[in-house]
Amino acid sequence: MIFTTKAEYGVRLLVELGRQPNDTPVSLKAIAESEGLPLAYLERIVALLKRAELVESTRGAHGGYRLARDPASVTMDQVVVALEGSVSPMSCFVDDSDDGRVLCSHVEDGEACATKFLWLRVQGGVIEALRRTTLAELVAFSLKQDEAQTPAPLGSALPLHSAA
């Protein structure tokens, strides 16, 4: 299953918002520059996240975007569905949400597809993995990665040889 750049960039945007101290609003331009993402595309993505009530905006000189909820309550299945729509492992896999049936677009009745069982399992596994992953976990991982890449201050390393 391949997610589009909407999901990738949207998750990166949310992680950056989650890293902000005291829910400080941050401009999309600042995020675009720090993450190397196209600003115009981020504007479309943040509109989807705002519609899903995952982010909120503040106007004015010190305005920008911030998380609308605690990062621990935001799961990645919510984010991916807000950005991608449904989660489908194959292009022929059609989720008919009105009645909860999953159909196959290349078989006339949609129920007799020989591989439907496999794709239902794949979809369920992906959704469960997304559901178990919170934004708070991704933010914590991101901060931990930053700490691991920060060089130690000069003079803080232990000497290799003892002076005798």
DSSP 8-state code for residue 25: -
Distances (CA, A) of 74 to 3, 138, 139, 162: 19, 11, 11, 51
Of the candidates 51, 44, 55, 56, which has an alpha carbon nearest to the alpha carbon of residue 82?
Answer: 51
Q: What is the pTM of this model?
A: 0.79
Distances (CA, A) of 63 to 25, 49, 59, 102: 6, 17, 5, 43
Look at residue 164 in the predicted model and tell me its pLDDT.
Answer: 47
Those residues of the chain that have pLDDT short of 50 are 100, 162-164
Look at residue 153 in the predicted model and tell me its pLDDT.
Answer: 59
Domain boundaries, the chain: 5-141
Convert the pLDDT of each residue in 102-128 to its tens digit: 566 665 655 567 777 787 888 889 999
Look at residue 113 in the predicted model and tell me its pLDDT.
Answer: 72
Domain 5-141 CATH class label: mainly alpha
Dihedral sign from CA coordinates of 15, 17, 18, 21: positive
